[in-house]
Amino acid sequence: MLYYSIVCGIFGLLIGSFLNVVIYRLPRGESVAVPPSHCPACGHFLKPWELVPVFSYLMLKGRCGSCHSPISWRYPGVEFLTAALFFAATWQNEGLLNWRLGINLVFISILIALTFIDIDTLTLSDVLVLPLLGIGLVAAFLVPGGPSGWESLASALGAGALFWLIALIYPQGMGLGDVKLVAALGAFLGFPLIVLAVFLASFSGSLIGGVLFLLRRLEFRQQIPFGPFLALGAVVCLLWGESIIALYWSLIFSS
C-alpha cells in the first residue's frame, strides 16, 4: 500500500506541474499545450531540467535561469499539494489502483485548479466546473465505491438548488459559479457528505475571513472567493468524511 501511495504521490508532482499551467493560462484564454512552458517575464523556454517539479525551483533558488526574475512560491506549492493529496487519496483507497481512485484523483486535480483560479480571478470557470459535474454523475452510475447514481443526481440537484436560492437572495455573496461547483460536489460526494462539505466550507470561510478582517487584510463586506473553501470541505470529506461522520454519531450516542 505504501509503495503505490508513494508512486501516486510522485505522479501527483507531475500533475501539479501541469495544473500550474492550467491555473496561469486558462483565465487568460491561452492554450495549455502551446507554447511550451516559459518564463512570463522574459519568455525564456524552460529546459527539461528546469521542469522537474519542486526540485527545479530549489535548484534555481526561486529565480528564472535566464533573467533571474523571482518565481512565485505557488508553483512548487501547487506541485507539493497535489502530490500530498494524491498520496493521501491512494492511501485511503488502501493502495488499490482502480477506477474509483482514478476518478478521485481527477476530482482532486480539478479542485486544485479551481481553487487557485478563484483566488486570482474570483471566478469559477465552466470549462472546469461543468466537466467535474458530468464526471461525477457518470462515475456514480458506472464506477463502484462512491454514491449511487440516483443519490448522486439527487445530491447535485438538492445542493445546487439550495445555493441557487442563496445566490438569488444574496447575489453579492454567492455567484453562479459557486452554485455549479456545489452541484458538482454533490454529484461526487452524495448525501450526507455534501452537507458536511458545505458545513466545513462555511466554517473555514467564516474563520479565515474573520482572521483576515482582524488583521486588516480584509475590509467589511469585501468579497472573498468561496470556491477554495468548498474545495477544502470536499477534499476533507472525500478522504475522511465517513470517519468524521462516524465519530460525530459515536459522540452523540455516547453522551
What tens-digit pLDDT sequence spans the chain (255 residues)? Answer: 788 899 999 999 999 999 999 999 999 988 888 888 887 878 778 888 878 899 888 888 888 878 888 889 999 999 999 999 999 999 998 877 889 999 999 999 999 999 999 999 999 999 999 999 999 999 999 999 889 999 999 999 999 999 999 888 877 767 889 999 999 999 999 999 999 999 999 999 889 888 877 777 767 666 788 999 999 999 999 999 999 998 888 888 776
All three cell numbers of 77, joined, read 506549492
pLDDT of residue 221: 67
pLDDT of residue 220: 65
d(CA 115, CA 46): 26
pLDDT of residue 246: 87
pLDDT of residue 50: 77
Label each residue of 140-185 as H, E or C: HHHCCCCCCHHHHHHHHHHHHHHHHHHHHHCCCCCCHHHHHHHHHH
Q: How far is CA 216 from CA 87, 123, 167, in A?
A: 36, 24, 27
d(CA 139, CA 184): 12
